[in-house]
Structure 1
Amino acid sequence: MSSTKSDNPTPPKIASTSVKNNWRSFISLISKAKPSYAMLSIALSLSLITTVVGLFVPLFTKNLVDGFSLDSLESYQIVLLVCAFVAQTIAGGLSIYLLNKFGQQILSGLRDLLWRKLLYLPVAHYDKEETGGLISRVTNDTNVVKQVVSEHMSGFVGGIISIIGSVVILLTLDWQMTLLLLVAVPLTLVILLPLGKKMHQISRNMQNETASFTSVLTQVLSEVRLVKSSNAEPIEYGRGKQGIDKLFKLGVREGKIQAFIGPLMGVVIMTLMVVIIGYGGLRVSNGSITAGELVAFILYLIQIIMPLGQITAFFTQLQKAIGATERMIDILGHSEEVQDQGLQVPAADSSITLKQLTFRYDNGEEILKSVDFTVPSGKITALVGPSGSGKTTLFSLLERYYEPQEGSITYGNHEINDFSLKSWRSQIGYVSQESPLMSGTIRENITYGLDREVSDEQLATVARMAYADGFIEELPEGYNTEVGERGMKLSGGQRQRIAIARALLRNPRILMLDEATSALDSTSERVVQEALNNLMKGRTTLVIAHRLSTVVDADQIIFLDKGSITGNGTHEQLVASHDLYREFATQQLRYQEQPI
């Protein structure tokens, strides 16, 4: 039996200790975004040119100071210095632009990878993940990775070259003063490294809290009508305030570390400046070095100290990026649904057979237990039973959102898993109690998901069959009317008729109705029921029935109770043979010992 999951080996997850907190995972993730490494090479080369040019300026200054006089100042020296500054400025500007473009390529590539992955992940993944957290991965975490490349990499690479070049030149100028300078480096690292680890921990916690806060915002704002109708504003404000306070505390902790690093670097710089100027002044007075060499030494000292801040910022941002990388690689490592792998559904209509179907969520309690029945081709089969009996889960298995632990579902001579997902799902039309609409126009919602052109005539035909043409034509923009987020600009009955028109346009062989009229008023229910009758003609139909009045004429009724089938037959047969169904009928239809 073929699987809907990818047959490719699952990439190693970031939870493995060999990859976690490792820069290799960061580089691996960037490579998946497929940025232009030629652009990066050019940008870094220009950055190196800027740095190297800067290394020769103190030597020029040294010669200028030692031999300064109006007679000795040649015009070519001034021109050379101006050219150096101009070249440095142009190279620096181009480097910043190219690095920013390189970073945007990474940002775009990562978001493309994550967006595609999220769309093709199975429904089961979303049962475990909060939507807001996933949104944070695509928006916030990708931006963190981009920043470390576009905003900090140039400073890091240039800083390293500047420090190495400056130290080499200083050793040639005066090795004794250089060694005195280098004593401060290990002392500074001893303090900065523990702070860097602490910053990494805070950054990871901050990213997790940001994801949680985004999740709260997404949930609340998407259901703002429920919040208001329940007078739940104070409760939701409290939830949001909790997230805000946590982020505030983490931000303050991050600020404390930065507040410690900044003054520490300032003290180191001032101490080195005082020591070098004092010690250098003594060496100038006794003739060991010239005044020009002391000036050059101070300038090189600045070229060593200034990049230290950039390098520190790079590693701080890298720690954040590694945390973000872990979560993104975790998402990208999950198996996704394969849409086109498998057989095409045969042209001939067939019955659907469920054999010994057993299903549980995450190896918990069984929702369906050894379910056996057949859905005849072209007939109406109703699913009836108490809430929680497994009716909606059965629909999810037919849609192949999940796979059963035991048993099978066959269509004709093939198990449905033998068919490609795209082919199988194209055979199914689904209308739920609250049919969801996407933000956009009525036309876009009716044609949603179709990869073919739909003419105005086709659109008008399905709208008429769905009894939607009347209200659509009354709207100022007609089929180009915006429905609002989740279709909130339309009434419940109007949304249902748009969903029915969408199903009619797909022309499915198999129709699944989750009691599409149960939430409507009597007027809307009557119109929608007429539209559903048009939709059901000649199709294999499965109906989840919350009200028996809508399914008394079904060809067969399956009664589910606690995941098992306890009755199967027509309405009259079940009234005569099934006690719980008879009780349902008595309550809902006011059954009085005679056929309804």
Structure 2
Amino acid sequence: MTTSATAFPEPRDQHPTTAVAPEPSQRLRSFVIRRRLLLGLSGLCATLGTLLGLVPIYVIYRIALITFGQEITADNTILWLALACVGAASGRGLLLMAATSLSHTAAYDILYDMRIALARQLARLPLGFFTATNTGTIKKIIHEDVEQMEEGIAHLIPDFVSGTLTPILTLALLFALDWRMALAMLSSLLLAIGLYGLMMGWAGGMYATYNGLVAHMNAAVIQYINGMKVIKAFTQTDASFAKLRTAIDAMSDFYQGMQARIQPIFAGMLVLVRATLIFLLPLGIWLLLDGSLNMPTFVLFLVVSMGFNRPIFQLFLGLGYAMYQVQAASGRITALLNAAPLAEPAQPQEPQDASIVFSNVCFSYQSDVQQSADRSELVLRGVSFSVPAGGVTALVGPSGAGKTTIARLIPRFWDVSDGAIAVGGVDVRQIGTERLMDHVAFVFQDVFLFNDSVRENIRIGRPGASDAEVEQAARAARCHEFILAELPHGYDTVVGENGGRLSGGQRQRLSIARAILKDAPIVVLDEATAFVDPENEGLIQEALSALVRSGKTLVIVAHRLSTITGVDQILVIDDGQIVARGTHEQLLVASPLYTQLWQAHTGAQGYQFRKDEGRRMRDEAEFPPHQFTSRIPHSAPLHNPYAGLNEDDGLLTMIRKLAVGTGNHLRNGLITKVAEGIFVALPSLLLVFILIELLTGQSRLLCSGGGPPGCWRVTSASTSARGWGCARCSASTSVFIAIYGCFWPTICGGCHWAFLLAAM
């Protein structure tokens, strides 16, 4: 399976370069081109199905010609036309089903290629990328955004082909028959689309505000859930829930206000979509009476008009939303695929030993700082030191001084902005990434354990290691005892998600066991004892001693200075620079900062809280204890609307229970929807009556004088105008009213006006 890995060519020189990333359309097009055969067949099937969808329109026209006597055919012609219509409908269904199946097959193949390419791209990216990028963001791209592309590939192709070709070909046919009627039928749709564009342009700013409120609400929800332990521990349920409720209310209130402004325009737009007869029927009657339109063509336009606008408008709305989603997802996918990986050397070199040398290293997380005259953003400035093979060096200093950054530059999490780092006498940029990872083992401060057995979590250090080697590494890391004594299944115990069933010290020792099993010449430990108790700290120290005895080169980032007093050299880091170096004893004499750190460390270890100090702190407080306790809020009473649901409840019962307090809104919404359906059905009922009269010829009006069937031309003495008269009451009426009387003969005279208004 090929992937997009070739989109990142390796540079010819031996220093990192920024590759010119392809355009997003080019990058994503490469995935689609590989499945062009399936997609082409899908489009072909959709096209053929669309052509078959025009057969019923042709059949309607032929039947109208036969019915009104404008075509002489055999007796069984209508039967054959009906069979052709059924066959075309069946064939169209089969072809569209094949088109959808082919497009889905292609879509899932493309999704597979995308995920494989993204996974390989993640493997190419430097480790620093993952420290700077939120895990949820990466997960969303690989899972949700890639899945969103399925909408654009599997559905848009057959739906777009069918949804666009059908109206285009239908309009071409209708324009060929009568361009005036075709324009009248199209006018309501064009007005609706114009109104939609006006609405979107007017509401664009509101949608941006709404999206911001949704993002704020999501952040409040995540903070509320993640901080639940702290919220309950400090009885801050009311205050925290109030913040969440405020965010939800702000989003809800704005959305309701936005809908109140948009809905009138949207309602007018829907009315226009369904109001084709308002434009088509008067013009058709006028042209029919004028003699420039025949009855079969009029019937064809009436039938087609009822189902023409709405599918096009729904396709227009659906395609717009789908394209927006696909465009946003493709942008994020392309951004990840275009993220610049660390350049691989053209001719990789092998490190000669386990020594480490920093030569005037400058570093910034902003990639353009090295070209900028302002170097205030540099995290490290002029860092130079060396660690001999087998030596032990500790990095100490206040928080934010740059200790962890120095440690993470050794395995090349990032490339330096200036200077060089050599491992084994070779610049790390001239060592292949995999070879450098094999040469350096990194023990992180935040240990990650997979939801797997203890044995497999240790074996990650060297996947091919035997069970005996895993246990030997566990013994060296002082893990073997607690694994057998405290875990129910020993090495086969599943540690839970991120090692949730283990203590912090146990997780840290397992990570050291990984490093021991990996057997890399260089081991970097980032705050390995930061969050452990004294007992675990002692065990970790024994594990580190085992690494020292094995001749490994160790670089240790430490806050607990008592754990590094015996190392070969200590580097004191402050504000991105080495301000002092030496042994523990030397630094106590020569470095005021180290002396201050040491005194703070030893003072914290010897500190004991005394009762008299507690009383003094209470007496010096600004408010008495009873005032403090009175400020503790009670837990907020949370209502769970799902608590009253039962499995045996029907759908309406569940809706009624969930709609507690909003029953009136729900009832009014249902009533309004029913009323809408009734009014929407009126044009359809009108069309049914019209077609019945036209096709059966059962009108009670008699035709005379060249008028339409069932009508007669009259010249009344009391009126100077000529019009069409009703045979039942002999009343002279206007042309438009009389034609309605032809279609519904029981209504005549003044009732024609009421019928006309109701029909409209």
Q: 3-state SS of the aligned residue for 1:377?
A: coil
* Contact 1:135 1:214 (8 Å CA) reproduced: no
Aligned residue number for residue 338 of structure 2: 333
**Aligned AA (2:503):** S
The one of 544, 548, 551 aligned to 2:557 = 544
1:272 to 266, 272, 276: 276
Measured after TM superposition, the shift of residue 57 of structure 1 is: 0.9
Cα deviation for residue 87 of structure 1 reads 0.8
Between the aligned partners of 2:224 and 2:411, the Cα distance in structure 1 is: 29
Aligned match of 1:594: none
Alignment of 1:514-553 (within 5 A): 514-537=526-549, 538-553=551-566
1:313 pairs, out of 288, 296, 318, with: 318
Q: How many residues align?
A: 576
Tell me the secondary structure at the aligned position of residue 67 of structure 1. Answer: helix
Give the superposition deviation at 1:211: 6.7
The residue number in structure 1 matching 2:643 is none
Residue pair 2:353, 2:425 contacting (<8 A) in 1 also: no
Match of 2:584 among 562, 565, 571: 571
| Pairing of 1:396-435 with structure 2 (within 5 A) | 396-435=408-447
Q: Which runs of 5+ in 2 are unaligned?
A: 1-11, 68-72, 370-375, 604-760
AA aligned to 2:100 is I
Stretch deviating more after TM superposition (267-276 or 42-51): 267-276
- How far 1:395 moved relative to its partner? 0.5
**Equivalence for 1:489:** 501
* Deviation per residue, 1:206-232 (Å, 9 max, x gap): 777767766666677667656655666
Alignment of 1:29-428 (within 5 A): 29-32=28-31, 36-68=35-67, 71-72=75-76, 75-125=79-129, 129-184=133-188, 186-197=190-201, 225=229, 229=233, 237=241, 244=248, 248=252, 259=263, 263-284=267-288, 288-302=292-306, 304-305=308-309, 306-338=311-343, 343-346=348-351, 348-362=352-366, 363=369, 364-428=376-440
User: Superposition RMSD on alpha carbons, in Å?
Assistant: 3.6
Partner SS state of residue 98, structure 2: helix
- Secondary structure of 2:275's counterpart equals helix
- TM-score when normalising by structure 2: 0.67
Q: Deviations over 1:124-158 (max 9, x none)?
A: 54565544344434444444443234334433322
Contact 2:96 2:158 in 1 (8 A): no
* 2:630 counterpart residue number: none
2:517 is equivalent to residue 505 of structure 1: yes
Distance 1:560-1:418 versus aligned 2 partners, 3 A rule: same
2:465 to 440, 445, 454: 454
CA distance in 2, matches of 1:211, 1:358: 37
SS in structure 2 at match of 1:96 = helix
SS in 2 for 1:83: helix
* Superposed displacement of residue 531, structure 1: 1.8
The 3 A distance-change label for structure 1 pair 350 and 479 is closer
SS for the counterpart of 1:382 is strand
Distance 1:381-1:277 versus aligned 2 partners, 3 A rule: same
Question: Which of 367-376 and 252-261 deviates more?
Answer: 252-261
Please tell me whether the aligned partners of residues 447 and 502 of structure 1 are also in contact (alpha carbons under 8 angstroms). Answer: yes
Stretch moving more, 62-71 or 173-182: 62-71
Superposed displacement of residue 88, structure 1: 1.6
Aligned in 2, Cα 1:340/1:480: closer, same or farther, shift over 3 Å? Answer: farther
262-271 vs 499-508, greater mean Cα deviation? 262-271
Q: 1:467 aligns with which of 452, 458, 478?
A: 478
Task: Give the Cα separation in 2 of the matches to 1:4 and 1:252.
Answer: 57
How far 1:405 sits from its partner (Å)?
A: 2.6
1:499 Cα deviation (Å)? 0.6
How much does 1:271 deviate?
Answer: 3.3
Q: Could you say which structure has the larger radius of gyration?
A: 2
CA distance in 2, matches of 1:498, 1:162: 65
Partner residue in 2 for 1:557: 570
Q: By how many angstroms is 1:506 displaced? A: 0.6
Supply the AA of the counterpart residue of 2:409. L
1:359–1:406 contact (8 Å) kept in structure 2 = yes
Is the 2:364–2:377 contact (alpha carbons within 8 Å) kept by the matching residues of 1? yes
Question: What secondary structure sits across from 2:54 in the alignment?
Answer: helix
Q: TM-score, normalised by structure 1?
A: 0.84
Q: Is the 8 A contact 2:565 2:584 kept in 1?
A: yes
State the match for 2:613 in structure 1. none
Higher mean C-alpha deviation, range 241-250 or range 298-307: 241-250
1:46, 1:94 within 8 Å by CA — same for their partners in 2?
Answer: yes
Is the 1:409–1:416 contact (alpha carbons within 8 Å) kept by the matching residues of 2?
yes
Deviation at 1:101, TM superposition (A): 3.4
Is residue 382–residue 544 contact of structure 1 (8 Å, CA) maintained in 2? yes
Q: Deviations over 1:333-363 (max 9, x none)?
A: 32123568652433x4242122222334434
Partner Cα distance (1:257, 1:462) in 2: 68
1:208-265, Cα deviation, whole Å (9 max, x unpaired): 7767766666677667656655666666656655665676578668867984675344
SS at 2:581 equivalent: strand
Percent sequence identity over matched residues? Answer: 27
Decide which moves more: 498-507 or 351-360.
351-360
Q: Which has the higher contact order (CA 8 A, sep 6+)?
A: 1
Instruction: Give the whole-Å Cα distance in 2 for the aligned partners of 1:277 and 1:445.
Output: 76
Pick closer, same or farther for the CA change 1:488–1:406 going to 2, 3 Å: same
Distance in 2 separating the partners of 1:300 and 1:468: 78
* Offset, 1:503: 0.5
Please say if residues 510 and 540 of structure 1, whose CA atoms lie closer than 8 Å, have aligned partners that are also in contact.
yes
* 3-state SS, counterpart of residue 420 of structure 2: strand
Q: Deviations over 1:279-315 (max 9, x none)?
A: 4345556665444332222233345323232133212
Query: Which is further off, 201-210 or 349-358?
Result: 201-210
CA distance in 2, matches of 1:39, 1:407: 52
Tell me the amino acid that sits aligned with residue 472 of structure 2: T
Residue-by-residue CA offset, 1:483-541 (whole Å, 9 max, x unaligned): 22221210122111211110011101111223423422222222222222112321111
CA–CA distance in structure 1, aligned partners of residues 547 and 455 of structure 2: 19
SS at match of 1:543: strand
Q: 1:213 to 1:541 in 2, by over 3 A?
A: farther
Q: Is the 8 A contact 1:133 1:214 kept in 2?
A: no
| Alpha-carbon distance, 1:3 to partner | 6.1
1:152/1:195 Cα in 2 relative to 1: closer, same or farther (>3 Å)?
farther
